[in-house]
Amino acid sequence: MIGATGRDPGDPRPGDEFTPFLPLEGRPPLRTRLFGTPAFFRLWMAQVVSATGDWLGLLAISILAIRLGSGNEGAALSLVLAARIVPGFFFGPVAGVLVDRWDRKRTMVTCDVGRAMVMLALPFVDTIIGLFIASLLLEAFTMLWGPAKEASVPHVVPADQLATANSLSLVAAYGTFPLGALLMALFGRLSTALFDSSWADNVRLDDMGLAFYANAL
């Protein structure tokens, strides 16, 4: 039935198309709906920072291995990458058992500090063996950090949001690779433009050094 305005009462009113985008009374903020709790949001942000640093460190270590393995770059790179992969087959199950016995938050903080110390030392490593040992240490800390983080998630996220939390964790772990690669390229430009001097060489402020120092932070 057409009313006096010439419109059918069932027709949508002007502006109705925007209704789904308007805030609903009592509706929780987007961050709460997506992450569940502020505690998980903080944990997720820590994972984003950590994963970005991991990708940045992996790229920097790979490039450094190629530079140090002059004349035998393929073998040098393979050795260093093996140091980041092979320990998982032997240390992975043990790491989970150890983390179950330790305080999770303290374990994560200790692993972050340990990785930072290794990263601070990496600019001064000038042998493949040294790079191999550093890679082993980094992987050991990472393998302890991961289970501690995973075990913490059920304690900070409601049970009905665990699937979403796990998906967000995967995004943080693998979706940060482009950011790590972008930072690696940026440090290459910065080292050339800003630190082309002898004092910069003494403290290893080249592209590799900047990447490792930034990762330590």
71-80 per-position pLDDT tens digit? 888 899 999 9
The per-residue pLDDT of the chain, averaged, comes to 80
Examine the pLDDT at 39 and tell me if it is beyond 70.
Answer: yes
pLDDT digits 0-9 by tens, 127-152 = 999 999 999 999 999 889 888 888 88
Cα Rg of the chain (Å, integer) = 24
**Residues near 92 by beta carbon (within 8 Å), at least 6 away in sequence:** 143
Residue-wise pLDDT tens digits, 9-26: 444 444 444 444 545 555
Q: What percent of the chain has pLDDT over 70?
A: 77
Asked: is 49-152+169-216 a CATH 1.10.287 domain? The reply is: no
**For position 33, what pLDDT does the model report?**
64
Q: What predicted TM-score, i.e. pTM, was given to this entire model?
A: 0.75
Identify residue 170 by its one-letter amino acid code: L
- The single residue listed with the structure tokens 């501690």 is 148
Say if CB 87 and CB 139 are below 8 A apart: yes
